[in-house]
Structure 1
Amino acid sequence: MISFIGARIRSLREKKGITQEELARRMGFKDRQTISAIETGSRRITAEELLRAAKELGVSLDEITDPLAPIEKMEFSWRKSSSEETTDIGRFEEKAKRWISAFLAIASKSDHTRPIMGYRLRLNRRSSFEDASAAGERFASDFGLDKDDSKTPASELVKTMENNLGILVLMVDPLEGISGAACRCPEIDAVLINRREPPGRRNFTLAHELFHILTWETIPPKHFELAGTEPAGGRRSRVEQLADSFASAVLMPLRVLEKVKWNQLKDDELIENLKTTAQKLEVTALALKWRLVSLDILEKTRAQSIPDDSLRSVGQKEREGLPPLFSKVFMEAVSKAIDEGQLSISQTADLLGLTVEKLAELCRAHGVKALF
């Protein structure tokens, strides 16, 4: 709880535009290092100091100590599946803020709340699509996503993001027309994925939003972005095309694709191989087709001659039903927080928008014991 309160003080201080030096002076500390130590959790804050901090920040004590109070300093980049206006996004964004803030509070001592390796991509707006693709190949290699033929990069990506990078991944039911989002705040990175979209699109959105997390400082994304089907298509921005190139390389590494002599296949064989390879990699066959074109493995004119309708069904059907809401990491933290008295059952049910019975079912769906 100490590091959560420190993170909350830091967020509120920055929102008010107060420096560490100024807050230290107001609270009677000799230097800003004391405030820094409190904010990072390396120094315990006393009850008296906590009351003084609330007064100097002009907030109630609950705004600092309530684990469900959203952290204000969060930035979102939403991936839209259509160009139509999405209403009520602000309301849903507030929900997402509460989920992420609650996780940060109840799992503040967990390795999942911070990037373990500080992994970032050395890319900027001037980087080429080939640069982004190469970065995706390196990422797959760095984390062993392309090494085990019995597993796909898509099936291992969530675990890599959570366990190696400390990125919280949440499966959610967002508003219609939203595929997912990347979120940055000082204490945690998060990715939200629309669990109701087809598996291939979910996986691509996950890798695409990972790009934004890993390049946020050098290539800040827009609040809204428009998803597409071709890496070089249409009105989409260059940044989104770079993200697509990275995502394609992560999910479809060259080592896997070059095993097939694509240009030597007859038309029927080509279509069949596109389907079977896409199914194996858990991506859409359309994304695979354009990945092969970008690698010069498949001629563009031949790719264009393949009707999209003949490939569209692959990667679009759910194999075993929808993935459960949120994630196992998230629900483990929730269950533990309830057991330890950090959260009440009713608080948690309200936070997640579930009945108590559905909350217990969700724990079981993730293989988490519902201790309550």
Structure 2
Amino acid sequence: MGIAEKLKAARIALKWTLELASERSEIGVSTLSEFENGRREPRLAQLKQLAKTYHRSISSFLDEEPTPVPCVLWRQRPESPSAEELQATLIEFADKYRTLEALCDQHFVLELPSVSAAQDTFNYPTAASLARRVRNELGLGDRPGQTLLRVLEEVCNVKVFHLEFEPSGSAACTLSDQFGAAVLLNSKNVRWRRNFDLAHELFHLLTWRVFRHDAVGPTDQPSEQEEKLATCFARNLLMPEEVFREAVDAIRRDSGKMGFDDLFEVAREFDVSVEAVVWQIGFVYNIASEKLQPTVNKLREQAGLWDVRERDVPPRRPLRFEALARQALRRGLISTGRYAEYVGISRRDAMKLVEQDATEDVQVEVTHP
């Protein structure tokens, strides 16, 4: 496949028209058409611009063999072409992360608990049991919501990114021999909702080879049953039954009823949403979902007000990603322009960092006593 075919395939993969590609790349429609039809070859500067626009590496257009595109699994997949661009961005970020690890000679492998089970026998008790095992093996403690993100990033080497997109209930993950595991969370969501989404996506990563062994194509969506299993796993991981029961029993009133403030206190303790707490109460105390649904509906509006008050904005890229990029820049492994592209800042701001780093580096001598 030549450059012309690869350029066309990259655009089509994003579900973009020539007009939209022209608008994004600032290269004329007729010029793009000539590139794709093989009438003209792009100059190196134009090829770099198109690689950036299409969220691809320039080598993907120059290498003889086509680069395989990892499958991205969606929870509530956004509409096209937004979904396709988000997928491409997730893979682009994960690839850049892997590149920085290689440049800085930090070759970390994915460290997630192994799961071997048959798809047709994977049920709710299996998902709950897996949650307990993962919590213990990863040392997440009694309230995993407070440590899950950091442990997955720093211990398990899962690459977690945050972007703004719709619908707000959406999240995605991918698993690749190329860069390991990557997760995309919605930065518009509050922290405790992102916690649940992260635990949900963790289930899909753990069971990827159970449910995705025959996945074909750049995107996939789980079945309704698989999503229910993922929710069961996330609920049991973030709110371990024994600890959760103790927390609820300690705060509920003599009447056995809990008001919003009580529910919010439990939600705050486990770093999850109030709605998740209500549903977990149902499972732990064997209360039918039909009885809980009216309560959940009433709580949603009130809980939404708290979501606004407690909103925070997570970084798009993991802190370790930015630390590796800074290290690569300081050691002369990447240019200022490439650093600016990797961390999403202007070249001018990148130059300021270079000027700051021109002074002698502070060092601490560590010796054995």
Shift in CA distance, 370/331, structure 1 to aligned 2, threshold 3 Å: farther
Distance in 1, matches of 2:340 and 2:350, equals 6
Structure 1 alignment gaps of length 5 or more: 1-60, 227-235, 364-368
- TM-aligned CA deviation for residue 360 of structure 1: 8.9
| Matching residue within 105, 126, 135 for 1:131 | 126
Distance in 2, matches of 1:73 and 1:311, equals 39
User: 1:204 is paired with a residue of what secondary structure?
Assistant: helix
RMSD: 3.5
User: Superposition pairs for residues 305-344 of structure 1, below 5 Å?
Assistant: 305-314=294-303, 316-317=307-308, 319=310, 321-344=312-335
User: Superposition pairs for residues 351-370 of structure 1, below 5 Å?
Assistant: 351-356=342-347
| Matching residue within 170, 188, 198 for 2:190 | 198
Normalised TM-score (structure 1)? 0.66
Shift in CA distance, 189/122, structure 1 to aligned 2, threshold 3 Å: same
- TM-aligned CA deviation for residue 301 of structure 1: 4.9
- TM-aligned CA deviation for residue 356 of structure 1: 3.7
Does the 8 A contact of 1:194 with 1:202 survive in 2?
yes
CA distances 1:191-210 after superposition (whole Å, capped 9, x unpaired): 12111112222111111111
CA distances 1:71-122 after superposition (whole Å, capped 9, x unpaired): 6342211222xx76342322332222221111111202325x4123x52234
User: Superposition pairs for residues 23-102 of structure 1, below 5 Å?
Assistant: 63=59, 72-80=68-76, 85-102=79-96
Distance in 2, matches of 1:344 and 1:241, equals 46
Shift in CA distance, 65/128, structure 1 to aligned 2, threshold 3 Å: same
Distance in 1, matches of 2:181 and 2:146, equals 20
Partner in structure 1 of residue 144 of structure 2: 153
User: 2:183 is paired with a residue of what secondary structure?
Assistant: strand
* AA aligned opposite 1:72: P
User: Superposition pairs for residues 205-220 of structure 1, below 5 Å?
Assistant: 205-220=197-212
Does the 8 A contact of 2:191 with 2:311 survive in 1?
no
Distance in 1, matches of 2:332 and 2:68, equals 25
Does the 8 A contact of 2:174 with 2:183 survive in 1?
yes
Shift in CA distance, 271/79, structure 1 to aligned 2, threshold 3 Å: same
Does the 8 A contact of 2:191 with 2:312 survive in 1?
no
Structure 2 residue 103 is matched with structure 1 residue 114: no
| Matching residue within 270, 273, 298 for 1:284 | 273
- Structure 1 or 2: larger helix share? 2
User: 2:72 is paired with a residue of what secondary structure?
Assistant: strand
* AA aligned opposite 1:180: A
Does the 8 A contact of 1:211 with 1:246 survive in 2?
yes
Distance in 2, matches of 1:359 and 1:121, equals 43
* AA aligned opposite 1:330: F
Does the 8 A contact of 2:171 with 2:186 survive in 1?
yes
Partner in structure 1 of residue 244 of structure 2: 257
- TM-aligned CA deviation for residue 299 of structure 1: 4.8
Distance in 2, matches of 1:121 and 1:196, equals 32
Distance in 2, matches of 1:144 and 1:101, equals 28
Partner in structure 1 of residue 44 of structure 2: none
* AA aligned opposite 2:70: M
User: 1:218 is paired with a residue of what secondary structure?
Assistant: helix
Does the 8 A contact of 1:200 with 1:284 survive in 2?
yes
- TM-aligned CA deviation for residue 280 of structure 1: 1.7
- TM-aligned CA deviation for residue 271 of structure 1: 3.9
Distance in 2, matches of 1:106 and 1:65, equals 20
Distance in 2, matches of 1:268 and 1:245, equals 24
- TM-aligned CA deviation for residue 143 of structure 1: 2.1
* AA aligned opposite 1:143: L
Structure 2 alignment gaps of length 5 or more: 1-56, 359-369
Normalised TM-score (structure 2)? 0.66
- TM-aligned CA deviation for residue 158 of structure 1: 1.3
* AA aligned opposite 2:75: R
Distance in 1, matches of 2:146 and 2:272, equals 11
Does the 8 A contact of 1:78 with 1:178 survive in 2?
no
Shift in CA distance, 95/341, structure 1 to aligned 2, threshold 3 Å: farther
CA distances 1:334-365 after superposition (whole Å, capped 9, x unpaired): 1112222232222233345432466699x9xx
User: 1:145 is paired with a residue of what secondary structure?
Assistant: coil
* AA aligned opposite 1:139: V
- TM-aligned CA deviation for residue 251 of structure 1: 1.0
* AA aligned opposite 2:181: D
- TM-aligned CA deviation for residue 136 of structure 1: 0.9
Partner in structure 2 of residue 163 of structure 1: 154
Does the 8 A contact of 1:179 with 1:197 survive in 2?
no
Shift in CA distance, 292/357, structure 1 to aligned 2, threshold 3 Å: farther
User: 2:147 is paired with a residue of what secondary structure?
Assistant: helix
Shift in CA distance, 248/343, structure 1 to aligned 2, threshold 3 Å: same
- TM-aligned CA deviation for residue 332 of structure 1: 0.8
Shift in CA distance, 71/305, structure 1 to aligned 2, threshold 3 Å: same
Does the 8 A contact of 1:120 with 1:214 survive in 2?
yes
Does the 8 A contact of 1:211 with 1:247 survive in 2?
yes
